[in-house]
Amino acid sequence: MLDADFFRRWMAAAAASVDREAQRLTDLDSPIGDADHGSNLQRGFAAVRTALEEEAPDTPGAVLTLAGRQLISTVGGASGPLYGTLLRRTGKALGDAAEVSEAQLAEALRAGVDGVKALGGAEAGDKTMVDALAPAADALADGFVAARAAAEQGAEATTAMRARKGRASYLGERSVGHQDPGATSSALLIAALAEAADAVEG
Ligand code: ADP
Ligand code: MG
């Protein structure tokens, strides 16, 4: 079972990963965006880290809803409300249980991804974070390692896609040949989940 500590570790691992990879995320956002994705997420996850320390939420659902609120209020770009919705919806679906199963998390994450699709209007194949998140949520039924691999593959597959949502869509055909920054950060988020799970399983 996964408790609030597990979810705190997930968010801490995500914040650390975003710090390490900020430059790469911003570089990916240069040719098909406005070169701010790394700094956007760094600011957001720094706020998540501070809020989790100050408020010490004690259920999985409360950890994720607090993190989602921080991303919405501190990230200026499109990705803030989208990631914020992902985490808030996922957290809300987990309810107020003190511990949740992997299967419950998989189901909740699927609800979170549905929230991202509803807010941003993106479907699979539109070259967005959905292309990494949706396969990861599906693969989570087979475990954290499978989810991480699915997210990484999903992110890599965006290179060949033409963007239909977000800033990159303004480039039309010229968006092809570049990996989507949001799909890349989504793969980092799911890798951080696998990292949090590693710490449990040893
Ligand atoms: P902005 O585009 O406002 O500068 P960011 O650079 O932080 O915001 O984030 C860009 C990423 O957000 C994209 O790479 C893409 O994955 C994601 N994104 C943008 N619009 C949408 C959307 N409508 N639905 C899903 N994801 C989106
Ligand atoms: Mg940007």
- Over residues 71-120, the pLDDT tens digits come to 999 998 999 999 999 999 999 999 999 999 999 999 999 999 999 999 99
CATH code, 144: 1.25.40.340
pLDDT for 199 = 79
Cα 13 to averaged position of ligand 2 atoms, centre (Å): 22
* Domain membership of residue 142 as a residue range: 2-197
pLDDT for 76 = 84
Query: Total domain count for the chain?
Result: 1
What number of CA atoms fall less than 13 Å from residue 185's CA on the CB side?
32
User: Has residue 202 been placed in a domain?
Assistant: no
pLDDT for 38 = 98
User: Has residue 59 been placed in a domain?
Assistant: yes
User: Has residue 121 been placed in a domain?
Assistant: yes
Instruction: Record the tokens describing residue 168, joined without a space.
Output: 């990159």
Burial (Cβ within 10 Å: 0-12, 13-18, ≥19) of residue 77: buried
Report the pocket of ligand 1 as residue ranges, CB < 6 Å. 29, 33-34, 36-37, 40, 77-79, 82, 116, 120-122, 128-130, 165-167, 180-183
Q: Please identify every stretch of the chain with a pLDDT value under 70, giving residue numbers as ranges.
A: 200-202
